[in-house]
Structure 1
Amino acid sequence: MPFDPDSSENAVNITSAGTNSDIKPFAADICVTDNDFEKMTLTIDEAEAGGLFDATSAETVYAKNVHKKLNPASLTKVMTAYIALKYGHLEDTLTASSNVLITESGAQLMGLKEGDKLTLEQALNALLLYSANDAGVLIAEYLSGSVESFAAVMNDEAVKLGATNTHFTNPHGLTDEEHYTTVYDLYLMFNAAMQFEEFRRIINTTEYKSTYKDREGNPKNIEITTTNAYLKGDIAAPDGVSVIGGKTGTTKAAKSCLILLSNGSDGHTYISVILGSTDRDSLYKNMTTLLTGIH
């Protein structure tokens, strides 16, 4: 069914303000860095860009090409989740339109169909845990009425966070030449999303089960597992590092990408980002190398 801004099932209708007059100044407690910086020597040669940021002390530990504009793949969903948690209501019911039927080859989908009804809480779990692209469209239309309108909101919100080298065209990260961001901008977005307890809970989840309704009211089960190899136990973090969670992303254009939230033995919280790693193996090799920079 089409989006109806007057429907109680679509309780939010955020649009772009079309102005930057409400942009707030940078927070004093964020990392600031040059494009390349090494507090300690780390080597991530198989990735186009990477960064390690101490979110507790607001210090940059490592930076490689952190201001280079790159395709982020599904790391885009961090921003989608941030906006949903900022403006939406977890208990709201979202009704899928025909636009959730994504046909791009290889796109990760939960299999939504027109008329399916999910809560925002269910959609966010599918978005962040399973990286469901159709859940991204569902959330975008719930919040702004269309993917295009939501992308404009994403760009406005990015600028408010100081993510000035970012331009989004969709809520999921499927490839578009005009869809890009940077390691540093992703750090800013992830750092902002961390303020929400629900975001921290979902990215730390390994499995999620729930039930939603199709257009006839029949129950449909959700059974999904995390795409994060650290949380699944497939990859071990360095000694003294505890991976809390994060977001994976992979497309042919973006290659393999990952953003993580971790705790160090020093009691600090860290955000680490890898963009453009050649494949899954090199992605986790590069990320594990970054994590060795945590005390």
Structure 2
Amino acid sequence: MKEKRISRKRRRQIVLLRNVSLTLALILVLGIILIRVVFINGRTLDVSAGYRIEVHNGAAELSEFRLASAEGFAQSLVACEDEVGKDLVKLSNETEKKLLFNIDQQEAVCAEGIYERIYPASLTKIMTALLCLESGDLERNVVMTEEDFNLGDGAQVSQLDVGDSVSLGDLLNLVLVYSSNDASKAVARTVGGSVDNFVNMMNQKAQSLGMTGTHFANPHGLHEENHYTTLYDIYLMMNYAYKLPGFSEAASKSSTEIHVSPSDGNPYTFIANSTDEYFTGIYSLPQNVTVLASKTGTTDEAGSCLSLVVQSNYGVKYIAVVTGAQNKEDLYTDMSAVLNLINT
């Protein structure tokens, strides 16, 4: 009897050990699956189908895991194919591209040509501004130099002159509100130590944000062949920038007051108006849509471009981008059609 009791006890121990082993194995398997879901798929970022890095950057050697775990790829990013809801809005001409992402729910509402290489024009200044906010002292006084105005014919410049002293914060406002190219160069050399080093900072930041289809060659966006981006990368940049303290405040102004201390006269102020024609009242926003941040861009090669962070009447935030319009009327007509999708 004693031997039978011992035998039953041993059998119970073996069964218990086997159950524990099976439980641990199941936990391990589930853990591996969970890790894959978190680091590869995230909440909405299906990298293999959505980002398609190999399509627009020739980087097919990057694995899904490396791409998804790269710095800057947060779980809250929107992922989609090159075209989503293309027929929801018909653009005015074939050079245009569009994007509308619900960034609160990480959903693509519409997209067209968002991984194709484009010239960004002054949408470049989104990166210039965010680096100014992250790495600059906005109270610092900056003296304008002759090199700041070495921009070529027709470039948009402010009322500043060589020798004028102005705060870095006011230069930031000129960059985002008035799209001033002289202010952009002054920000670059002040924050980066030199314009060339600042451009290196821009490209490093772009990499950290996952902007694999982007290369910056200057801080202002005036045309250069090796200065390019994609609509998806503009989304990544704007999605990061608008969350920085001070960015939306500057990028939602209809005008800005600039305080100047000239080298040979009395201090004065001037008003610079926004280049966004929604803000100036030339064009009207769709009903129940509010702009939280805006950046315009225009060159002959890029066409007319606009990137917005907007909010619906229910507080839902979206990023909208339209590029390549042949004129301002097409740009704002098509952007309004894109924004109208928020109400439907």
What TM-score, normalized to structure 2? Answer: 0.76
The one-letter amino acid paired with 2:197 is: S
* Mapped partners of 1:117, 1:192: distance in 2: 30
1:215 equivalent in alignment to 2:263? yes
Cα deviation for residue 45 of structure 1 reads 4.1
Asked if residue 255 in structure 1 is aligned to residue 303 in structure 2, the reply is: yes
Cα distance, 1:176 vs structure 2: 0.4
Task: Please state how far the C-alpha of 1:217 moved relative to its aligned partner.
Answer: 6.1
In 2, the alpha carbon distance for the partners of 1:108 and 1:198 equals 23
Once the two structures are overlaid, the 10-residue window that deviates more, 268-277 or 201-210, is 201-210
Higher relative contact order (CA 8 A, sep 6+): 1
Matched residue of 1:79: which SS? Answer: helix
Matched to 2:167, the amino acid is T
Say whether 1:289 aligns with 2:332. no
TM-score, normalisation: structure 1 = 0.88
Segment drifting more, 90-99 vs 68-77: 90-99
Tell me the equivalent position of 2:101: 53
Q: 1:24 aligns with which of 65, 71, 84?
A: 71
Alpha carbons of structure 1 residues 25 and 71: separation in structure 2 relative to 1, 3 Å: closer
Aligned-pair distance for 1:218? 3.7
- In the TM superposition, residue 175 of structure 1 has moved relative to its aligned partner by 0.6
The amino acid across from 2:79 in the alignment is V
- 1:55 and 1:94 map into 2 onto residues whose CA distance is 36
Amino acid at match of 1:166: T
2:163 corresponds in structure 1 to 115
Mean alpha-carbon deviation: is it higher for 243-252 or for 122-131?
A: 243-252
Counterpart AA for 1:152? N
**71, 78, 83: which one pairs with 1:36?**
83
| Equivalence for 1:132 | 180
Query: 1 or 2, which has the higher helix percentage?
Result: 2
RMSD: 1.8
Q: Residue by residue, what CA displacement relative to the aligned partner does 1:58-99 show, whole Å, maximum 9, x if unpaired?
A: 111111100111111111000100111111121112222221
Aligned-pair distance for 1:292?
1.1
Question: What is the SS of the residue equivalent to 2:228?
Answer: coil
Pick from 194, 197, 202: which aligns with 1:146? 194
Work out whether residues 111 and 134 of structure 1, in 8 Å CA contact, stay in contact via their aligned partners in 2: no
Greater Cα shift, 185-194 or 47-56: 47-56
For residue 226 of structure 1, report the CA deviation from its aligned partner.
0.8
Matched, 1:89 2:127: no
C-alpha separation in 1, matches of 2:134 and 2:102: 24
Over alpha carbons, which structure has the higher Rg? 2
1:267 corresponds to 2:315: yes
CA distance in 2, matches of 1:41, 1:48: 15
- From the superposition, tell whether residues 66 and 246 of structure 1 become closer, same or farther in structure 2 (CA, over 3 Å): same
CA contact (8 A) 2:99 2:114 kept: yes
Residue of structure 2 in register with 1:11 after alignment:
none
- CA deviation map 1:154-191 (0-9, x unaligned): 01100101111000111100010000111110111111
Matching residue of 1:78? 126
**Shift, 1:103, TM fit:** 4.3
Residues 178-189 of structure 1 aligned to structure 2 (within 5 Å)? 178-189=226-237
Aligned-pair identity in percent equals 36
Give the Cα–Cα distance (whole angstroms) in 1 for the partners of residues 293 and 216 of structure 2: 23
Q: 2:116 aligns with which of 58, 68, 74?
A: 68
Do residues 229 (structure 1) and 277 (structure 2) align?
Answer: yes
**TM-aligned CA distance change 1:145 to 1:114, over 3 Å:** farther
* Aligned amino acid, residue 41 of structure 1: L
| Matched positions, count | 274
Structure 2: tracts of 5 or more residues without a match: 1-69
How big is the shift at 1:135? Answer: 0.2
Matched to 1:132, the amino acid is S
What displacement does 1:120 show? 1.2
**CA–CA distance in structure 1, aligned partners of residues 116 and 314 of structure 2:** 30
